[in-house]
Amino acid sequence: MVAERANERVCYFNGEIVPESRALVSFRDRSFRYGDGAFDTTRTFGHRIFKLEEHIVRFYKTLRYLRIDPGMAPSEMKRHTEEVLARNLHLLGPDEDYWVFQRISRGLEPAGGDFYGSTDPVLIIDCTPLPIPQRAHYYRDGIPLLVPSNRRAAPDTISPRAKTHNYLNLFVGNDEVRRRDPNALALFLDHNGNLSEGIGSNIFLVTDGVLYTPQDRYVLNGISRETVLELAAEADIEVVKCDLDLFDAHGADEAFITSTSYCVCPVATINDVPFGERRIPGPVTERLMGLYCKLIGFDFVGQYLKHLH
Q: Which pLDDT tens digits describe the chain residue by residue (309 residues)?
A: 444 566 899 999 999 999 999 999 999 999 999 999 999 999 999 999 999 999 999 999 999 999 999 999 999 999 999 999 999 999 999 999 999 999 999 999 888 766 666 678 999 999 999 999 999 999 999 999 999 999 998 888 889 999 999 999 999 999 999 999 999 999 999 999 999 999 999 999 999 999 999 999 899 999 999 999 999 999 999 999 999 999 999 999 999 999 999 999 999 999 999 998 778 999 999 999 999 999 999 999 999 999 987
Is 43 in contact with 100 (CB distance < 8 Å)? yes
Q: How many CA atoms lie within 13 A of 87 on its CB side?
A: 25
- pLDDT tens digits, one per residue of 7-34: 899 999 999 999 999 999 999 999 999 9
Distance of CA 194 to the CA centre of its chain: 21
Residues 46 and 293: their CA atoms lie apart, in Å, by 12
Is 242 in contact with 234 (CB distance < 8 Å)? no
Q: Which residues of 72-83 are buried (b: 16+ CB within 10 A; e: fewer)?
A: eeeeebbebbee
71-79's contacts with Cβ under 8 Å and 24+ in sequence apart are 71/120, 71/121, 71/123, 72/123, 77/102, 77/125, 78/52, 78/53
Q: Which residues, in sequence order, are CB contacts of 145 under 8 Å at separation 6+?
A: 184, 185, 186, 187, 198, 203, 255, 257, 267, 269, 270, 271
Residue 182 DSSP SS3? coil
Element (H, E) at 119: none
pLDDT for res 262: 96
Is 104 in contact with 39 (CB distance < 8 Å)? yes
Quick one: 240 exposed, middle or buried, by C-beta within 10 A (0-12, 13-18, 19+)?
Answer: exposed
Q: What is the DSSP letter of 100?
A: E
Give the domains, in start order, of the chain with CATH numbers: 10-130 (3.30.470.10), 135-305 (3.20.10.10)
Is 188 in contact with 170 (CB distance < 8 Å)? yes
